[in-house]
Amino acid sequence: MEQLLQQIEAIKKEIAEATATGQAEVEQYRIKYLGTKGLVKQIMGEMKNVPNDQKKEFGQILNAFKLVAEEKLEQLQAALGDSAEVDDSKDYTLPGDTVTVGTRHPLNLVRNQMVSIFKRLGFAVAEGPEVEDDWHNFGAMNLPADHPARDMQDTFYVQEPNEEGAAWLLRTHTSSVQARVMETQKPPIRVICPGRVYRNETISARAHCFFHQVEGLYIDENVSFADLKQTLYFFVQEMFGKDVKVRFRPSYFPFTEPSAEMDISCQICSGKGCNICKHTGWVEILGSGMVHPNVLKNFGIDTEKYTGFAFGMGVERIAQLKYQVNDLRLYSQNDLRFLQQFKSV
Ligand code: PHE
């Protein structure tokens, strides 16, 4: 008797310490303790040797012992969680299906990078509508109804101009967003305006009827052309690396005076001459200038106190130089073979 009780205690201790990391180990446990030839059954078999007057007491001990073993089995099973319900009809060793992860559109990758560079300089992002009125796209930007420079940007009209020149159109540049910012905010103003713009061009490798811009506007006291140059120089160095060269050429925009276009050394051929830079070694990437006083006056900004610079560039052009994409149409054809080459971070 005494010996049997000791044996039971020893097995109980073993049971208490038993662990299982998988279904197979749970099964081993079950066979060892609760199987038809298991330890619980064996001990039960000793019952016949127990003297009659002790049978009742011993029976209770044995039942409690069995219960301990069964409870532990349940615990081990529960600890395995869902994995415990193994479905043998499936082959879990088969390789899984590949999950196709989407990639960001190259224009979004480049736009995001452009935005983050300007954000570091303290520029905030401003957005506005793509269907615009004549005033925000042209009038406020110093392009009155009969201004010849309107022809520079072939406009898609949603509603043709009436006698007063009022019209609805698809914005031809995100300068319209700058107008909306000046309308609602007081200087100092420091914003960039990323967005899609539309121009009535025949679609080809080099032109499309829509493209994307990032325009910028900085108005404060004492803003000078030197600030403009330094800001844009910083931008291209961050975008293309420290070796990039820049040059400014005098230009004309109705909304800036003086105006300049900025070229950078061709990133495709490193200035040696190629198709992209038309063998000049330079590629134009943006238009810029000091905000025309007429524009500031349109928004009641004191031109004695404030000056500002503005710039505008095409995201496609920057992306072309970064990724050597030579056909603008690729950006809007949704060809996965093209899109999947651009891995987002
Ligand atoms: N709005 C001009 C364009 O779309 C770009 C520009 C912006 C030029 C600001 C000068 C200053 O072509």
Which residue is closest in CA terms to ligand 1's atom 5? 312
Residue among 306, 270, 301 nearest 290 (CA): 306
Residue 258 confidence (pLDDT): 98
Helix and strand element counts for the chain (H, E): 11, 10
Task: Give pLDDT, residue 345.
Answer: 55
| Cβ of 175 below 6 Å from ligand 1 | yes
Please choose from 215, 217, 290 the residue to mutate so as to test ligand 1's pocket, defined by most ligand atoms within 8 A of CB.
215
| The pLDDT of residue 273 | 86
Beta-carbon contacts of residue 39 (< 8 Å; ≥ 6 apart) = 11, 32, 33, 69
Question: Considering only CA atoms, which of 144, 203, 212 is closest in space to residue 327?
Answer: 203
Which pLDDT score is estimated for 154? Answer: 87
Q: Ligand 1: does its nearest atom lie under 6 Å from the Cβ of 253?
A: yes
pLDDT per residue rounded down to tens, the chain (345 residues):
788 889 999 999 999 999 888 888 899 999 999 999 999 999 888 888 888 888 888 889 999 999 999 999 999 888 887 655 566 788 888 898 888 888 899 999 999 999 999 999 999 999 999 999 999 999 999 998 788 767 666 899 998 877 776 889 999 999 999 999 999 999 999 999 999 999 999 999 888 999 999 999 999 999 999 999 999 999 999 999 999 999 999 999 999 999 999 999 999 888 888 888 999 999 999 999 999 999 999 999 999 999 999 999 999 999 999 998 989 999 999 999 999 999 765
Give 143 Cα–ligand 1 centroid separation in angstroms.
Answer: 13
The residue contributing the CA closest to ligand 1 atom 8 is 287
CA 265 – CA 280 distance, rounded (Å): 9
Task: Judge if the beta carbon of residue 308 lies within 6 A of ligand 1.
Answer: no
Strands, E assignment, 153-238:
157-159, 168-170, 189-198, 210-220
Give yes or no for residue 216 CB within 6 A of ligand 1: no
Q: Is 133 in the pocket of ligand 1 (CB under 6 A)?
A: no
Ligand 1 pocket, residue 289 CB under 6 Å: yes
Atom 2, ligand 1: residue with shortest CA distance: 312
- The answer to whether the pTM exceeds 0.85 is no
**Residue 249: what pLDDT?**
98
Query: Cα torsion at 236, 240, 242, 246 (round to 10°)?
Result: -50
Amino acid letter, residue 180:
R
Would you give the DSSP letter of residue 93? Answer: T
Assigned token pair, 258: 């003086």
What pLDDT score does 4 carry? 85
What pLDDT score does 152 carry? Answer: 64
Cβ–ligand 1 distance for 142 under 6 Å, the answer no
Is the distance from the beta carbon of residue 173 to the nearest atom of ligand 1 less than 6 Å? yes
**What ranges do the domains of the chain cover?**
2-83, 106-342
Q: Which CATH architecture has domain 106-342?
A: 2-Layer Sandwich (3.30)
| Residue 215 in contact with ligand 1 by CB distance below 6 A | yes
